[in-house]
Amino acid sequence: MDDSLTWHITFYEECNGNCPLTKFFASLSEGDQKKIASALRELRVRNITARRPLIRPLGERLWELRVKTRSNSYRLIFVWMDKYIVVLNGFQKTSQRTPRSYLKIAQRRYRDYLKRL
């Protein structure tokens, strides 16, 4: 594959190297982890050509990756940066709208990520 077309997925890390998404992923069943990993691979391949129902814009450069398993729905909030998909937050969907608290966390992490580039 042509490296100029390859996109990479990275997960937000705090300045101390801690990755908050690790705890989220560890809390999921193995089957749900595999389903999310599959959706991330599809996003990496389709990247900016991906559309609904896989992804949805949230505004302020934030997007959500939408993952449905047999018993749950999950969302990963991410941004596009050059040839990187930076995953900022993840949560189990429990309501129609994305909770403001998850958006605020993603926005804060995005600003922190940009400062440390």
pLDDT tens track, the chain, 117 positions: 555 677 999 999 999 999 999 999 999 999 999 999 999 999 999 999 999 999 999 999 999 999 999 999 999 999 999 999 999 999 999 999 999 999 999 999 999 999 998
- CATH architecture type of domain 3-115: 2-Layer Sandwich (3.30)
For position 6, what pLDDT does the model report? 78
DSSP state of 94: -
For position 4, what pLDDT does the model report? 60
User: Which CB contacts under 8 angstroms, 24+ apart, belong to 102-110?
Assistant: 102/75, 102/77, 103/58, 103/62, 103/77, 106/62, 106/77, 107/60, 107/62, 109/12, 109/20, 110/61, 110/62, 110/79, 110/86
For position 3, what pLDDT does the model report? 58
Cα separation, 49 vs 110, whole angstroms? 22
Cα separation, 113 vs 88, whole angstroms? 9
Considering the entire predicted model, what is its pTM? 0.93
Instruction: Please return the burial class of 39, using the count of CB atoms within 10 Å of its CB with bins 0-12, 13-18 and 19+.
Output: buried
